Structures are given as C-alpha cells and as structure tokens.
Amino acid sequence: MTNHGTPEFWEAAFSQKQEMWGFTPAHSAMVTKDYFIQNNVKSVLIPGIGYGRNAQPFLENGMQVTGIEISQTAIDIAHKHFGGNLPIYHGSVTDMPFDTKMFDGIFCYALIHLLNETERKKLISDCYNQLSDNGHMVFTMITKEAQTYGKGQYISKDRYEMFGGINMYFYDKEAVTAEFSGYGLTEIRDITESYPFYLVICKR
C-alpha cells in the first residue's frame, strides 16, 4: 500500500501536475480570510501550503503567512510566485512544530483527511498549541456525502485508499466533534469545494 505521506509521493505528484489547481484560492480560503479579518488575525500558519494558492487572500489583506510543505517542488513554485514574502518550512506536518512562534490564525485545507488517526490527533493538537491567546484555527475536510465515500480499497473504518495511492478518511459531524471538541470547537459548516467538505472553526 502506497504511503501517502512520503516526500517522494508528493514530489512525483507536483512534478507531474505543477500548479495543478491553478492560482485561484479555494472557496474555503476566501471564507476563512473574511473570518480572520473579522477577528483581527495578523499572522497565519498554513500546514500543507502546497504551492501557495491559498496563501494569496491572506497576504492580500496584510496578514503574515508561514507555510509548511512536504514537496520541495511545490515550495519552489510558491517562491517563484510570492518570493520572500512567503516563508515555508520544508517537511511533513507530522513533524510539527517547526518553530516556537504563536500564530493568530491557522488554516489547514484538505489535509487532515489524508492522515491516519494518530497523525490527525497530533496535527490538531500541534496546531492548537501554536495558537496565540484568542487565536483561531480553521480546518477543512472531506465528508461522507462525497460520491467517493466507500470506494477504493478499504483500510479501516471510513478510510480508503484511492486515486493511485492516496489514503483518505471521510468525516461525519460526530467524527469532527470527537476529534476537535477538546480544542475549542465552535462551529462546523457545510461547504462545497470539488467535493462536499466541512469547514471546522476552533478558538483558543
């Protein structure tokens, strides 16, 4: 079974499909940008930043953005577009934290559902621990309403291997509550990207 978390897997993915989603930010990033503006967020951490398309709305509104990304190819693309205005740590989110900085906001898009249960728990805890007082973190994840739910090779409850080696966990609201309730969970919204997602908001 392919390990979705290896640098080699994501290097191959980005090398084959550079800038595969274009540079238009995800709908969730735009919603989160508005939420961060309303809550006076000035510094943002984006684990799994990819080549930076979702950093754009935060940067355009005067927020300082730091990223974490496993693919050096993706980092190189981000630096080509954003220059030194977007510092990115090269590594896996499972190795967080990369610094001791506290952030006003954390935005984690379509990443947590690619991790196993232990990795998901660690990511949520690590992000929460890097929030400043009254900080906000927003996660998005695929839901069981997606047409791909239940397809692919079964790994464990609600988790399947599909798309040539990506391991994907599908959330319902009970699973969101179970994983986030100890971390300031305030809201679960339904939001549509290319698949049905949840947008989960937590406050420290």
Helix ranges restricted to H, the chain: 7-16, 27-38, 56-59, 72-82, 117-129, 173-180
Taking alpha carbons only, the member of 141, 96, 109, 124 closest to residue 184 is 124
**Would you say domain 7-203 falls under CATH 3.40.50.150?**
yes
Is residue 161 within a helix (H) or strand (E), and if so which, with residue range? strand 159-162
Q: Tokens for 198?
A: 């949840």
Question: Distance of CA 57 to CAs 10, 70, 107, 118, 141, Å?
Answer: 24, 22, 12, 31, 20
Q: How confident is the model at residue 3 (pLDDT cuts 50, 70, 90)?
A: very low
Residues linked to residue 131 through DSSP beta bridges, in sequence order: 103
Q: Give pLDDT tens digits for 137-180.
A: 999 999 999 999 999 999 999 999 988 889 999 999 999 999 99
Taking alpha carbons only, the member of 108, 122, 114, 121 closest to residue 167 is 114
Taking alpha carbons only, the member of 28, 1, 15 closest to residue 164 is 1
- For strands 103-108 and 43-47, give the pairing: parallel
Q: Give pLDDT tens digits for 28-87.
A: 999 999 999 999 999 999 999 999 999 999 999 999 999 999 999 999 999 988 887 899
Assess whether the previous peptide bond of 87 is cis (omega < 30° from 0): no
- For strands 153-156 and 88-90, give the pairing: unpaired
Q: Where do the domains of the chain lie?
A: 7-203
Q: Are 110 and 163 in contact (CB under 8 A)?
A: no
